[in-house]
Copies of this chain bind each other. A is one copy, B any other.
Amino acid sequence: MKIRISLAQMNSTVGDYQGNIEKIKDFISKADEKGADLILFPELTLNGYPPEDLILKTQFLRDSLKSIKEIQDFSESKDVVIVLGAVDWDVESYNTAFVIYKGEIYGSYKKMFLPNYSVFDEKRYFTAGRTPFLMEIERIKIGITICEDLWVPNGPAVSLAQNGANLILNLSSSPFYKGRNKVRFEMLKTRASELSSWIAYCNNVGGQDELVFDGGSVVINPYGEIELSAPSFEEGLYFIDIDPLEPTRANLREGKRKHYNQSAYYESVNTIKIAKKITEKNPIKAIKVDSFDIYEQLYLAVKTGIKDYVWKNGFQKVVLGLSGGIDSSLTAAIAADAIGPENVLGLLMPSQYSSKGSIDDSIELSKNLGINYKIIPINDIYEKYIENLKESFKNTDEDKTEENIQARIRGNLVMAFSNKFGYLALACGNKSEAATGYATLYGDMAGGFSPIKDLYKTELYKVAKKYNELHGKEIIIKSILEKPPSAELRPNQKDEDTLPPYALLDEILFKYIDREMSYDELLQEGYDEELLKNVINMVNKNEYKRRQSAPGIKLTERSFGKDRRMPITNKYIPW
């Protein structure tokens, strides 16, 4: 007899109990209608992930308990076992999976391994559980784990398998970054195979401030083969029929479980029995989606991030400055896909240093995308500033000050549209700029959200090409893709007058930031000493700018923001 598992790959909103409850109920009803025996939700579905310091308010915690009760009551009329992620609270708070069936809470599992690195602060909020959790439905033994629990080699899953689990559930809120889903699938396949157990993994989907969750939920058999794989970046309910009791050849052949070192694991396992009958049903075919190309994933991540930031924060429209460069062009293009071109307003704000090409390119791009645009020259405003500062700046040379004034006039104009019409302002900076400080605070850095701030300049071109490929035409036009990058804040300026060539710069930045390599390790890789010192100095000295930058989407292993917490006051010089 096969058990029907359904995975609710759901897009929660942090703190939105009522909205999340409605969605949860809807998923439960659908699962029940389609004869699912069990429905699995992502980690902290009810509260949204991560709720951060909301967890320090008692009322938020009480409301979590109340909301669980609401799901409990709702479940009474359904014949499906619900495994729901929510915050539990007594004196301490716990990251918990509740097992709810027919109006009753059968038990709950408290997450045992709390990540406290990278973007995660779970030890700030939660107390770790101490006991693995197993539930029996008929003769099927189902273990429950939450996210990190399954990533650590010595986690509760080993005890669960040792205690006979044939199926291990994982409620997850695992954020996207480039290449992450591949690593995740590999880990899950390894676990299924080494534990000789089915694994059903349900991941969060959608954007939350700096994070985008990519979904990509899977069910894997005890041979480590994917039997169900849900789409990435899409909300949905996915079904599979499996028979975890069929003694797996893998298990018999290799006798894997006999090798477990008994003494290394937890002394006890909470075990509950659920009075659920599994009945015969018409077979259902599980979805299997091929995973996307890596640049398509990046495109989808940015699109999801923009859409959810805009909508979840109550905006309808966005405004951004269009310079004719790749950064603002790509941001506008993805924003148009995310929320509709009619909801995107591009501002062209030429100065005396803007090339005609830049303006023409932005107009052509706007037309290709079908977005709105306006042209507001800044020259006369700039002249006024210079006039009013003339006395104070006499006997000084022109320098980056004058460039920044222009950028900040543009920032002021973008924000004026944002304030006047209630549009969200998007900042268009990239990771190479954020890293080196090659950007103007309150100027081009102005905006409420910064969608591509975690993409290196060289990566932007690849995403842009993928964008054109996916749309089957050259929406982001050739001249945008091919012109040499320039801030156009002084005559004939090129980025590479100030910065090393992007190909080289991005390579060093990747190693220094994403891979946390040290100066001496980089030196050993053969990079020029002066170049390295220059790049590392730029990175370290511009922490103050990044600290005031708009949040953007984590797209790499180490993004700026809460993923990288460097002091501003920092006299560490590694040479």
Contacts and interface: CB of A to CB of B under 8 A. Distances in A.
Interface of A: 13-17, 19, 50-54, 56-60, 63, 116-117, 121, 123-124, 207-209, 308-309, 312-313, 374, 376-378, 380-381, 384-385, 387-389, 392-393, 396, 399-401, 404-405, 408-409, 411-413, 415-417, 419-420, 441-442, 446, 448, 516, 518-521, 544, 547-551, 562, 564-574
A570 to B, nearest CB: 5
Nearest to A376: B388
A140 B388 CA distance: 71
A567 B54 contact: yes
A567 B14 contact: yes
Contacts of A516: 56-57
Contacts of A550: 547-548
Contacts of A13: 569, 571
A280 B516 CA distance: 52
A551 B547 CA distance: 8
A417 B470 CA distance: 47
A528 to B, nearest CB: 18
B442 A416 contact: no
Given A385-B381, A411-B442, A309 B569 contact: yes
Contact of A411 (B380, B388, B408, B562): B408
29 contacts: A14-B569, A14-B570, A14-B571, A15-B567, A19-B571, A52-B565, A52-B567, A53-B564, A54-B567, A57-B518, A59-B574, A116-B121, A116-B124, A121-B124, A208-B567, A209-B569, A376-B392, A381-B381, A384-B384, A389-B416, A393-B420, A404-B415, A405-B416, A408-B412, A408-B415, A411-B442, A448-B544, A548-B548, A548-B550
B58 A566 contact: no
A405 B418 CA distance: 11
Contacts of A17: 572
Copies of this chain per assembly? 2
A77 B181 CA distance: 58
Given A14-B570, A376-B392, A571-B19, A385 B59 contact: no
A424 to B, nearest CB: 10
Question: Which of A50, A123, A399, A564 gathers most chain B CB within 10 Å?
Answer: A123
B551 A549 contact: no
B572 A14 contact: yes
A415 B441 contact: yes
A59 B444 CA distance: 34
Given A420-B393, A520-B59, A53 B571 contact: no
A397 to B, nearest CB: 10
B572 A60 contact: yes
A419 B392 contact: no
Contacts of A388: 376-378, 380-381, 413
Contacts of A121: 116, 121, 124, 565
Contacts of A54: 566-567, 570, 572
Given A376-B392, A442-B446, 9 more contacts: A53-B566, A59-B519, A63-B574, A117-B124, A207-B569, A208-B567, A404-B415, A409-B412, A412-B442
Contacts of A124: 116-117, 121, 565
Given A401-B420, A574-B63, A518 B564 contact: no
Contacts of A378: 388
A123 B566 CA distance: 16
A446 B407 CA distance: 14
Nearest to A49: B567
Contact of A568 (B313, B384, B570, B573): B313
A418 to B, nearest CB: 9
A238 B374 CA distance: 67
A45 to B, nearest CB: 14
A123 B381 CA distance: 50
A347 to B, nearest CB: 9
A571 B521 CA distance: 45
Nearest to A420: B401
B384 A381 contact: yes
A405 B419 CA distance: 10
Nearest to A522: B59
A56 to B, nearest CB: 5
A262 B571 CA distance: 46
Contacts of A420: 393, 396, 399, 401
Nearest to A47: B572
A569 B53 contact: no
A245 to B, nearest CB: 41
Contacts of A52: 565-567
A123 B547 CA distance: 22
Nearest to A425: B441
Contacts of A419: 399-401, 404
A439 B571 CA distance: 32
A384 B412 CA distance: 12
A335 to B, nearest CB: 17
A392 to B, nearest CB: 6
Contacts of A567: 14-15, 50-52, 54, 208-209
Given A384-B381, A384-B384, A60 B574 contact: yes
A209 B419 CA distance: 31
